[in-house]
């Protein structure tokens, strides 16, 4: 039974060619003027971080609320699939689909800068990790929503708040609590990777900066699994 939901979402995600087209072209059209138009580095970095964060979060929350309202999730659960595993498999499918759809935009960012191959590869890795965290965040937002409007509201609120805690909109004082908190935010590695590409200055201070954010992402996976069991068990069984 495991893997069934991932295959279903994967095939369904690419059957809607109109949606795939817009999800690929719109980010590319949005990124192009920013990276090619000479926008200030700080502003360009913040805009790109928000774009990728919202793309990931909305990409999982809205479909989940829609499928909940339509009864599709109930039909899946009637097959006996574990509700927590259902959410994780959907998340995995959405992450892969999002990454492929965003790849042209990501490639444009890398090619438009004088980044090394190592920095470019690290950027792609951090975007993938951002998509994992963002999709998990979207699932958690959807699990407390009762309509698509609520799903959009909670998703944007959680995503932007986590972007803020990642240090995108302000510089926290050294040795402060907020500076320590930044290292744990799942969007922080992406922010540093984009900043490095655009500014040409290494902002990483070593790969160790990714460890706290990875730990929080793993915790979000566990929360998603547990939330699925609690949410769907009460509704459908």
Residues 102-161 pLDDT 10s: 999 999 999 988 777 888 888 999 999 999 999 999 988 888 887 888 888 888 899 999
| List of residues 6+ apart from 8 with CB closer than 8 A | none
- What is residue 236's predicted lDDT score, i.e. its pLDDT? 40
State the DSSP string of 2-64: TTHHHHHHHHHHHH-HHHHHHHHHHHHHHHHHHHHTT--HHHHHHHHHHHHHHHHHHHHHHHH
pLDDT classification of 15: cutoffs 50, 70, 90: confident
**Is residue 61 within 8 Å of residue 224, measured between CB atoms?**
no
pLDDT at 69: 80
Residues with Cβ < 8 Å from 33, sequence gap 6 or more?
A: none
The three-state (H, E, C) secondary structure of 171-187, written as one string: CCCCCCHHHHHHCCCCC
pTM over 0.85: yes
Stretch 27-53: mean pLDDT: 89
Cβ-proximal residues to 162 (8 Å cutoff; 6+ apart), any chain: 53, 137, 185, 186, 187
Nearest to 113 by CA among 39, 180, 57, 207: 39
Q: Which residue has the higher pLDDT, 78 or 129?
A: 129
Give the range of the structural domain holding residue 217, as residue numbers without chain letter: 4-32+40-236
Task: Give the C-alpha separation, 136 to 90, whole Å.
Answer: 10
Q: Hey, how many other C-beta atoms are within 10 angstroms of the C-beta on 72?
A: 13
Position 29 scores a pLDDT of 92
Q: Looking at the 3D structure of the chain, how many domains does it have?
A: 1
In angstroms, what CA-CA distances link 119 with 9, 73, 98, 128, 213? 32, 40, 21, 14, 19
Mean pLDDT of the chain: 84
Span 1-14, pLDDT tens digits = 556 676 777 677 67
């Amino acid at each position: 039974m495991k893997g069934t939901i991932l295959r279903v979402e994967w095939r369904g995600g690419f059957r809607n060619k109109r949606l795939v087209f817009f999800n690929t072209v719109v980010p590319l059209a949005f990124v192009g003027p920013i990276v090619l138009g000479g926008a200030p580095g700080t502003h360009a970095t913040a805009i790109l971080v928000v774009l990728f964060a919202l793309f990931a979060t909305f990409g999982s929350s809205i479909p989940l609320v829609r499928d909940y309202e339509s009864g599709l999730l109930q039909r899946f659960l009637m097959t006996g699939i574990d509700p927590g595993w259902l959410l994780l498999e959907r998340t995995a499918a959405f992450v892969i689909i999002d990454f492929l759809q965003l790849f042209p935009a990501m490639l444009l960012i890398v090619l438009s800068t004088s980044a090394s191959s190592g920095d470019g590869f690290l950027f792609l890795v951090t975007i993938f990790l951002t998509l994992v965290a963002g999709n998990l965040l979207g699932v958690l937002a959807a699990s407390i929503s009762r309509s698509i409007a609520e799903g959009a509201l909670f998703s944007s609120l959680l995503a932007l708040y986590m972007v803020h805690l990642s240090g995108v909109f302000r510089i926290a004082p050294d040795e402060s609590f907020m500076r320590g908190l930044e290292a744990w935010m799942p969007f922080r590695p992406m922010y540093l990777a984009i900043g490095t590409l655009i500014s040409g200055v290494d902002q990483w201070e070593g790969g160790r900066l990714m460890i706290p954010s990875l730990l929080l992402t793993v915790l979000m996976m566990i929360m998603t699994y547990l939330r699925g069991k609690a949410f769907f068990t009460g509704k459908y069984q």
